Amino acid sequence: MPHHLEKATFAGGCFWCMVSPFDEKPGIKGVVSGYTGGEEKNPSYEEVISQTTGHYEAVQITFDPKVMPYEKLLDLYWKQIDPTDAEGQFSDRGSAYRTAIFYHNESQRQLAEASKVELSASGRFRTPIVTEIRPAGPFYKAEEKHQEYYKKFSFHYNHYWESSGRAQFIRENWKKRKSDEALREELTSIQYEVTRKNATEPPFQNEYWDHTEEGIYVDIISGEPLFSSTDKYDAGCGWPSFTKPLLRSELKEQFDTSHGMRRIEVRAKTSDSHLGHVFDDGPGLDRARYCINSAALRFVPVKRLEEEGYGEFLALFQ
């Protein structure tokens, strides 16, 4: 591993759900699902979930601390879990699904301890924070079918993310949504109709269909980063089109049979906003074309990324 890179290891319940929040973010060089914390060498998935090995399901992240500081990883980690549950996470129960931060050096230990104290003092949760902070030990890579599960089996992953209870917990405790009444006051009529009522704006008569400035496009409601100008292209359809999302973890895809058609709808996880659809006629290797309504987006130019809290994405334009 290059000397300027570091490792971070987090256990947050099912490791399928702990890859996408970190994967593909600036400064992240790799996220591996695996097992750690127990005594048995090279355990199998079946052995770990039998709760007999002492291992946790975990992810190990290789990152560049100059681009993605460890403090940001900790902040992101806390927002994926229920840190008050000592018996597992959501529908997954047992010791293999407990939460823990495994530190790799003294600096990480101090930062992890400080972040836990800060979370406890915030009053966000009424019960104690029970997530462990432990020294990192051997980490065993999980079987290949468990690597990047959210990409390989996206439909099942999105269903599990919702049905396990994790999605609802995150929305209620970490990413509170505004009421439709409040949004009706804040948004324009077309923004409200698109995001809350699944409407589609007119082609060639929307804000970003021919927009070429460098920067990122964020959720008009939550501000979560969704797409980058580096992946935008003119598909000739009259709506903003992208070859890929900026962060796959912020999107969910589901079947849409409205208007007598069979399509894949794209929604924002945090705000549950309708964004548009994804088609298989794009120019990239996977042929994806994300056809998105301008009304669901807000553009942040490169010169304002740092000022608005999106500084980690500056690397895309350097």
Residues recognised as catalytic: 14, 291
Distance of CA 77 to the CA centre of its chain: 10
Q: Count how many residues are written for the chain.
A: 318
Strands 263-268 and 251-256: antiparallel
**What are the structure tokens assigned to 314, written together?**
């500056």
Assess contact for 248 and 20: CB atoms under 8 A.
Answer: yes
The two tokens of residue 125 are 């949760």
